[in-house]
Amino acid sequence: MQSSSFADHRTLTAPPAESQPSGPDAAAAVSQATASRSDDGVFPQDLTTVSNRQLRVLCNQTYRVLDRDFPSMEAIFQYELLIEEIERREVQAETRSEPTKARSGFRDNSLFSRFELFSDGTMVGHVKYEMKGSHAVLIQAVVDPQFDPVDVEPALIRRVLLNAHQRRLAVVPYCPRVREFLREFPQYRALLPVDQRKRLEAALRVSVDA
């Protein structure tokens, strides 16, 4: 019997090399793997310790999650935190050269029972509320007439709802403007108690059928 050569034996026994994607397929595979690793990452507990570059990366990763059909409230809240931190750093950088720059931001003024939104030191709008246990009853949204309500009102209500989510408060939307916002952005309805959410959705169905 004729024996095979060493080269032939190596050829017969060597495991076949795995096929590797090339060209656009390779780039897509790497991008998909990177995105998977990013989505599984842990969101930092303290954003003040994160570098500017890492903040931008986290924003891009979170935005991809928000681009889905039904993003979670947690993803929305995380994205808002990232934007707030970026804006805080931008303002901080500007105030180094402009010490007199007026403040901007959002706060819960418990003394007057209202959530307030500021721009350049001026309160541009507020939402009056009443606390009933762990429920924040939103009574009225008010926008300063000097400002455009189309821009201010959605930003104000969004900040109110995110603040309630952060504090684990349920929201009761007595205010018509808040109910209108919830009609346009259904992902925030998860903050409502079950009975309130069912009542709101039933009312919205009636308005659509009318």
Quote the domain boundaries for residue 118.
102-210
Same domain, 110 and 196: yes
Determine the residue type at 1.
M
Helix (H, G, I), strand (E, B) or coil at 148: coil
pLDDT values of the chain reduced to their tens digit, one per residue, 210 residues? 444 444 444 444 444 444 444 444 444 443 343 333 334 468 888 888 888 888 778 877 877 777 777 778 888 888 888 878 887 877 776 655 444 333 579 999 988 999 999 988 899 999 999 999 999 999 999 999 999 888 899 999 999 999 999 999 999 999 999 999 999 999 999 999 999 999 988 888 877 665
Token pair of 145, please? 């007439």
Q: Is residue 12 part of a domain?
A: no
Read off φ and ψ for residue 129, nearest 5 degrees: -140, 170
For 170-194, give the DSSP string: EEEE-SHHHHHHHHH-GGGGGGS-H
Same domain, 87 and 106: no
Read off φ and ψ for residue 143, nearest 5 degrees: -115, 130
Element (H, E) at 79: helix 73-97
pTM for the full predicted model? 0.53
Q: Is residue 34 part of a domain?
A: no
Same domain, 106 and 67: no
Same domain, 111 and 209: yes
Same domain, 74 and 166: no
